């Protein structure tokens, strides 16, 4: 069994209710927690008959999910699913993931194949990033960074096999609570963006962090930092915090892990 958490910020109920209803159709889902970081409480969410918590402040993506994760740990459930509000899925895939995780206790984190609404793959299996990958590349023409981006996103792997990847997207994180107890929850110093990198690589130290293409979901990815100056500033500010924590130029773990992953999945 597992709990699921969705962090909200000014989301209308009509946008969230289809996902909640879908999740509750799964036989492995115990509870769906709605954590609302909006400036004003929305009583309409209580009509969905799932745990709804209005935090009264926007403390960030990771901090919001941590509220629900702590409850999952207290309930002694084996898994917790962190999921974005803009995800669509067949509830049957959760049972398949649950079975796979039960049969592979060395996996601490799993992400399925993630598609755009058009059916195209979102390349969300990544190496541990350098400052170039997350900051410098953002301001350069794509023609100059295409090869580097393709390597960073492990595109040559084909995205058609199970892979143990050090950086998986925060839009859908199927987490083993035992791993979270050992590695810690989301680092709440990160308001938004690098919290999934940080958690993925911490789990990757002790467990496998797996891309599982046997099932897929749809992600209506907005890339808000590409269209909003304010979000871009927030993005960069939090990335600075990330590299201050892990290292800008010198990050021995990054070098070692990335070398191993490239040899395993990009060398044929």
pLDDT mean values, one per 10 residues, the chain (268 residues): 97 96 97 97 94 94 97 98 97 98 98 97 97 85 89 96 98 98 97 95 98 97 64 91 96 97 87
Specify the pLDDT at position 225: 45
pLDDT tens readout for residues 115-137: 999 999 999 999 999 999 998 88
What are the residue boundaries of the structural domains of the chain, listed by start?
2-265
CA–CA distance from 60 to each of 15, 125, 221, 230, 234 (Å)? 20, 23, 18, 15, 11
- Contact (Cβ atoms closer than 8 angstroms) between residue 8 and residue 37: yes
Residue 117 structure tokens = 């609404």
Specify the pLDDT at position 268: 61
**Alpha helices, DSSP H only, in 46-91?**
61-74
pTM: 0.95
CB atoms within 10 A of CB 110: 25
Which residue shows structure tokens 């996996």?
107
CA distance 243 to 166: 16
Burial 184-204 (b: 16+ CB within 10 A, else e): ebbbebbbbbbbbbbbbbbbb
Q: Identify the DSSP state of 193.
A: S
- Contact (Cβ atoms closer than 8 angstroms) between residue 244 and residue 193: no
- Contact (Cβ atoms closer than 8 angstroms) between residue 19 and residue 47: no
2-265 CATH: 3.90.550.60
pLDDT tens readout for residues 17-36: 999 999 999 999 999 999 99
- Contact (Cβ atoms closer than 8 angstroms) between residue 34 and residue 106: no
């Amino acid at each position: 069994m597992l709990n699921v958490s969705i962090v909200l910020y000014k989301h209308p109920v009509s946008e969230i209710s289809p996902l909640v209803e879908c999740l509750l159709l799964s036989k492995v889902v115990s509870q769906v927690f709605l954590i609302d970081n909006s400036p004003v409480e929305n009583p309409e969410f209580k009509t969905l008959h799932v745990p709804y918590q209005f935090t009264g402040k926007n403390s960030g993506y990771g901090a919001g999910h941590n509220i629900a994760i702590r409850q999952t740990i207290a309930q002694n459930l084996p898994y917790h699913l962190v999921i974005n509000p803009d995800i669509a899925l067949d509830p049957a895939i959760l049972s398949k993931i649950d079975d796979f995780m039960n049969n592979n206790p060395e996996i601490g984190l799993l992400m399925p194949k993630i598609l755009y609404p058009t059916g195209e793959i979102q390349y969300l299996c990544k190496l541990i990033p350098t400052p170039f990958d997350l900051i410098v590349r953002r301001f350069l023409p794509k023609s100059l960074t295409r090869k580097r981006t393709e390597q960073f996103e492990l595109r040559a792997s084909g995205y058609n096999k199970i892979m143990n990847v050090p950086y998986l997207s925060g839009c859908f994180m199927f987490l083993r609570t035992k791993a979270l107890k050992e590695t810690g929850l989301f680092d709440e110093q990160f308001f938004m963006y690098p919290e999934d990198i940080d958690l993925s690589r911490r789990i990757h130290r002790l467990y496998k962090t797996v891309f599982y293409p046997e099932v897929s979901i749809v992600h209506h990815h907005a890339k808000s930092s590409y269209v909003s100056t304010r979000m871009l500033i927030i993005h960069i500010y939090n990335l600075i915090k990330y590299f201050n924590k892990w290292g800008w130029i010198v990050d021995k773990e990054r070098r070692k892990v990335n070398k191993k992953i490239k040899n395993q999945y990009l060398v044929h």
